[in-house]
Structure 1
Amino acid sequence: MSLFFLKRLSSFMVTLLAASVIVFAVLELLPGNAAQVILGETATPESLAAMEEKLGLNLPAHVRYLQWVGGMLAGESGISISYETPTAQLMAERLQVTLPLAIMAMSLTVLLSLSLGIYAASRQNRAGDVGVMSLSQLGLALPNFWLAILLILLFAVHLQWVSAGGFPGWTEASGGGIWEAIKALLLPAMALAAVQTAILTRVTRSAVLETMREDFVRTARAKGLSRRQVLWRHVLRNAMLPVLTVMGLQFGNLITSAIVVENVFVLPGIGRLIFQAIANRDLIVVRDVVMLLSVMVIVINFVIDVLYVWIDPRLKAVS
């Protein structure tokens, strides 16, 4: 297990390094002047020179890269041009919205998709299976931003159960509270979870059906175990590998796709931060947020790789 973990850890570190190089290269080394992009075409030569010095553009590219990476490792981030605040502080504040939103959406996705996928697989080609697959097809066809608008019209405008947008905060001192914050994130989480639930339901159904055709399932049935006992004791764990793979990809996708949904619901999360940074031409914030999202996706995939061996120890021998 230790050798497997060291292999995965080394791959994780190499991937992080490659991601940092790509993010830096895209925003720093492409043709064009970053200071000109930030200040606009009407900027004077004096203001351009001052901005270039502030951004460190007067230094060689490799020096800027090492300073950026070294600063991140030391816990020192760049200073936002538009907010005049360290990007780490901005991202920490916005993650208080985005992470709970992604966790809520993923929880809804896992709960619904596993239940529906197992239900459909246990009733293959019957009415329940056809109904679940039809609903999943509908979920795949719905853009999350359009579903978000429908949810606002129904629950916020017509029924008036929740507010149409905004985030009150997690504490009563900020005018909100835990329950109020959860209510504000519920509709966005539902909008994000809809498409992911449809995808994971289909993957779960296919994985369960494929596992149920294995020899060990027939052996368990021959020993007298009921179909339900075989499903819960033997099939589910062996069917979880492809499901877990998709879950890892989906969690990363939920964080990145929150950009659109957060803007629909006017949530002060990471998605809205990067949207505002692009509008303000704040390339420092854009670079650090993109790197943060990359790190989160890479970390999630690393955790999924480790969980593979916990679910199926046989993988340790071939890794």
Structure 2
Amino acid sequence: MRFVVKRLGLFVVALFGLSLLVFVLLRMLPGDVAAVIAGTNAAPERIASLRTELGLDKSYVAQYGDWMLGLLHGDLGVSTIGGKAVSAQVASRASVTFPLIIVSLLIALAIGLPLGCAAVLTRNARLRGLCHGIAIVAGAIPALWGGLLLILLFSRGSGLLGLLPAQGFPDNGWGAPLQALASLILPALATGVTAGASIMRYTRAAVGDKASSQAVDMAMACGMTRKQAVLRVALRLATPQLVSVIGLTFAQMVTGVMVVENLFALPGLGTMLVTDVGNRDLIAVQSELFLLAAFFLLLGLVVDVVHRALDPRLKDAGLVSGEVLA
């Protein structure tokens, strides 16, 4: 409990520092939001009126205070360009982005865990080399280039096989679940294959290290085959490290998904963020960046707590998962 309270305190401090960083960096960007909204040939009086209306004429301290007060009350502000509540837009876009991330992670686990264990279990040098080659090649493929290849192979209309949609999302969203899921398969494959290669390398290293431990030798001495000992004992012993790796991979996939969303024209958070940055929608961008960064911090907190719960040795060592990985 003391560890959890300490981590929560650090989490709150990190959120505060993060909010300051996002606020300051966005104010350093060139351009004027009021001038963008008013138009190129707008009169100075019109621009000044918009600055007052948007609260941009206040001091930076007052603007930061208003923003933080709104965040504490669950108010992310109102988009200066579209005039819609940022919270409603984020919720709508998150219903596309997070299912895409989950499907991508499931694909990555389906690739990484079995192939990683297979690379440890096989005694065939050629098969081990094949697994190693797959990990290197798949891990080196950029998500954008991989997405383009998938479009050329499997997309309807322009692809060779024409199996899956490659652009857009159903207008009624998850009201048509099969269509919505079909529109996420190709972008999920584009990010999941690369992440799966990373998980495969970590699985092979972690399970391979535990496979040569005394615990596995004892299990085999008790009557288990090598395959049973590796899958039942070594894999279980490697679970804390794998949980940390999977959690960090999940966080990394957020950025990869944002690139893929634009390629596949999905109305997700990535597309929203790119559009708002291009429109200089300061209020929307600062809330979106803060939420994404807060998600990374929250995920790190969860990984640390789960890692400590799975590995009792950390209670005595006073370590967290990030230190173990380092």
TM-score, normalised to structure 2, is 0.90
C-alpha distance in 1 between matches for 2:312 and 2:43: 64
SS in 2 for 1:191: helix
Q: Output the CA distance in 2 between the equivalents of 1:289 and 1:66.
A: 17
1:197-243 CA distance string (max 9 Å, x none) = 11111111011111222233333333333212221222112212332
The answer to whether residue 262 in structure 2 is matched with residue 268 in structure 1 is: no
**Structure-2 residue corresponding to 1:167:** 169
Distance of aligned partners of 1:162 and 1:73 in 2 relative to their CA distance in 1, 3 Å threshold? same
Change in CA separation of 1:46 and 1:264 when aligned onto 2, cut-off 3 Å: same
- Once residues 133 and 126 of structure 1 are traced to their aligned partners in structure 2, the CA distance between those partners, rounded to angstroms, is 10
Provide closer, same or farther for how the CA distance between residues 237 and 54 of structure 1 changes in structure 2, counting only shifts above 3 A. farther
Trace 1:107-126 onto structure 2 (pairs within 5 A).
107-123=106-122, 126=125
DSSP 3-state at the match of 2:238: helix
Listed as ranges, the matches of 1:235-274 within 5 Å are 235-274=234-273
> Offset of 1:87 from its aligned partner?
0.7
Q: Which blocks of at least 5 consecutive residues in structure 1 are unaligned?
A: none
Partner Cα separation in structure 2 for residue 124 and residue 300 of structure 1: 37
What RMSD over aligned residues (CA atoms) do the two structures have, in Å?
1.9
Aligned match of 2:36: 38
Pairs aligned (count): 313
Shift of 1:178: 0.6
Q: 1:1-42 CA distances to partner (integer Å, 9 max, x unpaired)?
A: x112112211221221221111111112x2645436735765
In 2, Cα distance between equivalents of 1:97 and 1:135: 30
Instruction: Give the SS at the match of 2:173.
Output: coil
Query: Kindly, what percent of the aligned residue pairs are identical?
Result: 33
Give the aligned residue type for 1:158: L
Matched-pair contact (CA < 8 Å) for 1:19–1:291 = yes
Structure 1 residue 305 and structure 2 residue 304: aligned?
yes
SS of 2:169's partner is coil
Q: How does 1:146-157 map to 2 (within 5 A)?
A: 146-156=145-155, 157=159
Would you say 1:10 and 2:9 are equivalent positions? Answer: yes
TM-score in terms of structure 1 length: 0.92
Residue of structure 2 equivalent to 1:178: 177
Aligned to 1:290: 289
* 5+ long unaligned stretches in structure 2: 319-326
Q: Which residue of 2 aligns with 1:94?
A: 93
Q: Is the 8 A contact 1:101 1:185 kept in 2?
A: yes
Deviation string, structure 1 residues 261-283 (Cα, Å, up to 9, x no partner): 11111100001101111222212
More displaced 10-residue stretch of structure 1: 5-14 or 117-126: 117-126
From 153, 157, 160, the counterpart of 1:158: 160
